[in-house]
Amino acid sequence: EAQVTQNPRYLITVTGKKLTVTCSQNMNHEYMSWYRQDPGLGLRQIYYSMNVEVTDKGDVPEGYKVSRKEKRNFPLILESPSPNQTSLYFCASSRTVSNQPQHFGDGTRLSIL
């Protein structure tokens, strides 16, 4: 089954403790992206990747890092999480042509205390 898998689905942690949210897709998609969703603000893009070893900033990249060492994986890294990064996070993937739809994961709810 074609899918985008995020882990963990839920995480409560404390300020400053490094964490990684993993994202994996099994569709051989070139394009992958991370979004955060906050009440009243909709979906905002954090980082995206057009292909292996190619990443770029979205609208709200501050406080986040990503890597794309393999085509299928696109982890989101919070080196020193802060409470303002408490949010619902979605990973998405698609083929790298503009008429291809994005496939989204089920989301990761992060709470930073």
Partner 1 sequence: DAKTTQPNSMESNEEEPVHLPCNHSTISGTDYIHWYRQLPSQGPEYVIHGLTSNVNNRMASLAIAEDRKSSTLILHRATLRDAAVYYCILKPYRDDKIIFGKGTRLHILP
CB of residue 80 to partner 1, shortest distance in Å: 25
Instruction: Tell me how far apart the alpha carbons of residues 103 and 105 are, in angstroms, rounded to a whole number.
Output: 7
Interface residues for partner 1 in 7-26 (CB under 8 A)? none
Interface residues for partner 1 in 29-48 (CB under 8 A)? 31, 33, 35, 40-45, 48
The answer to whether residue 104 forms part of the interface with partner 1 (CB under 8 A) is: yes
Of 11, 50, 52, 77, which lies in the binding site for partner 1, with binding defined by CB under 8 A? 50
CB of residue 106 to partner 1, shortest distance in Å: 6
Binding residues for partner 1, rule: CB under 8 A, are 31, 33, 35, 40-45, 48, 50, 56, 58-59, 90, 92, 94, 96-107
